[in-house]
Amino acid sequence: MGDIISHPSGCPQCSSNRLYKDGLRYTCEGSVQRFLCRECGYRFTLRHNHSNECLTSNRGSQVCVILQEAKNLTTAELEKSAEELATGNLNQQTTKGLRLQYALYLEKEGYGEGCRYNDCIRMLLNSGADVRNPESIKELIAKKRWKNGTKMQVCYAYDALTKMLKLSWTMPTYRQEETLPFIPELNEIDALISSARTHRLAAYLQCLKETMADPTEGLRLKWTDITGNCITINQPVKNHNPRRISVSSQLIAMLNLLPKESEYIFNRLYRNVQGSFMNTRKKAAHNLQNPRLLSITLRTFRHFGATMLYHQTRDILLVKKLLGHKKIENTLKYTQLIQFKDSEYDAATATDIDEAKKLIGSGFEYVTEMNGIKLFRKPKRYVG
């Protein structure tokens, strides 16, 4: 069994001594004590190796680790990596140093999607790309069986790298494919939520359903973002606008049952949440004998909510606001995704002007008139 350190010297992130035990982590070398910093919310483990050297591991994102390693490198090490790159000695150590420099460059230049760009460069390096030769990069990207949207993002990432390396190149033009997302039925969405293996995952999926947040935006939610029955998205992604959304009391109750072990509500990495969701989806599709569930992704909850909201309100500007879109063109796709069945409408009648005004004010739309009676309808609400 590995040696468990009960009293570490401090948090490796902020050096605070306000540490609390956070269970054990079991590895091939034995059990390791986990700790939680009450100052910065950093979760980490400490143990000794055979040489009695203290080792630290954390649950932060890969990019955060890269940035921390880059900041710990000396100037001489960075210059040596740059010299090796310039001379064509692209070994494993050199490519790692390049990625570390690139992460620092993205942070310094204020790239909002820096973590995605670093992953794109990693994809190129893993493919054996010569990043000093822009023409070979163009050829490699063109031959890859990636979607045009992925190729476009890789081009933007490499464009930033050429600026760092002071290389000149002409960026190829790729246009992202316009595709209509898959929209499931309400009972299929609810079936996935009820099939979640943990209460945390169920609350996360319910949150995506009601807030129409991007999956990453959902993981960035903090406890301070909850005010009454409203959730504020203060850390949007993809250049979205911040927004505040009213949610159900059911969702608030589900969130309040979660342990407050961090400033973040869900306190999980995206890849871990996605893995749990895919296992849940596969099991639910098998148990319910419904293969349509396999087409549902974490982003489908956002598409579903936006589509239902539009058909419920017919207010495209409201949908645009709650999705955080900056351009109305990104929202218009939700006007053509589904057609409601007659059973999915609430019907009402009016015999005079006053009754008609009340119905229109409550969201009903005029359909036709029969025998002097005006018929109205509106889509049924999907959020309880």
Residues 294-345 pLDDT 10s: 999 999 999 999 888 887 777 888 889 999 999 888 888 776 665 555 556 7
Mean pLDDT for 45-59 is 48
Say if residue 206 is in the same domain as residue 314.
yes
Q: How many residues does the chain have?
A: 384
Minimum mean pLDDT range among 66-75, 132-141, 225-234, 352-361: 66-75
Per-residue model confidence (pLDDT) at position 337 = 62
Q: What is the pTM of this model?
A: 0.62
Return the structure tokens found at 155.
């081009």
Say if residue 194 is in the same domain as residue 230.
yes
Most confident by average pLDDT, 56-65, 71-80, 120-129? 120-129
Minimum mean pLDDT range among 64-78, 180-194, 255-269: 64-78
Say if residue 121 is in the same domain as residue 209.
no
Q: Of 59, 74, 100, which residue sits at a domain end?
A: 59
Mean pLDDT for 9-17 is 68
Q: Is residue 29 part of a domain?
A: yes
Most confident by average pLDDT, 19-28, 164-173, 288-297? 288-297
Say if residue 194 is in the same domain as residue 295.
yes
- pLDDT tens digits, residue range 221-248? 999 999 999 999 998 888 899 999 999 9
Say if residue 247 is in the same domain as residue 275.
yes
Per-residue model confidence (pLDDT) at position 72 = 52
**Mean pLDDT taken over the chain:** 79
Inter-CA distances, 252 with 136, 228, 299, 300, Å: 52, 8, 21, 22
Say if residue 194 is in the same domain as residue 331.
yes
Q: Is residue 197 part of a domain?
A: yes
Q: How do strand 230-233 and strand 226-227 relate by DSSP bridges?
A: antiparallel
Q: Is residue 71 part of a domain?
A: yes
Say if residue 352 is in the same domain as residue 314.
no
Inter-CA distances, 377 with 187, 307, 334, 356, Å: 22, 18, 20, 11
Q: Is residue 173 part of a domain?
A: no
Expressed in angstroms, the distance from the first to the final Cα of the chain is: 50
**Number of folded domains in the chain?**
4
Task: Give the type of residue at 366.
Answer: Y
Domain that holds residue 100: 65-165
Q: Is residue 178 part of a domain?
A: no
Q: How do strand 19-27 and strand 30-37 relate by DSSP bridges?
A: antiparallel
pLDDT of residue 90 exceeding 60, the answer is no
Say if residue 328 is in the same domain as residue 369.
no
Range 326-358 burial, b when 16+ CB lie within 10 A, else e: eeeeebeebeebeeeeeebbeebebeeeeebee
Contacts of 281 (CB under 8 A, 6+ apart): 192, 293, 294, 296
CATH number of residue 277's parent domain: 1.10.443.10
- pLDDT tens digits, residue range 106-150? 888 887 544 678 888 888 888 888 888 999 999 999 999 888 888
Reduced DSSP (H G I as helix, E B as strand, rest coil) percent helix, strand, coil of the chain, to 5: 50, 15, 35
Per-residue model confidence (pLDDT) at position 127 = 84
Q: Is residue 97 part of a domain?
A: yes
pLDDT of residue 56 exceeding 70, the answer is no
Residue (of 148, 153, 168) closest to 122 by Cα position:
153
Say if residue 262 is in the same domain as residue 153.
no
Q: Rounded CA gap, 115 and 216, in Å?
A: 12
Q: Of 10, 40, 59, which residue sits at a domain end?
A: 59
Say if residue 190 is in the same domain as residue 331.
yes
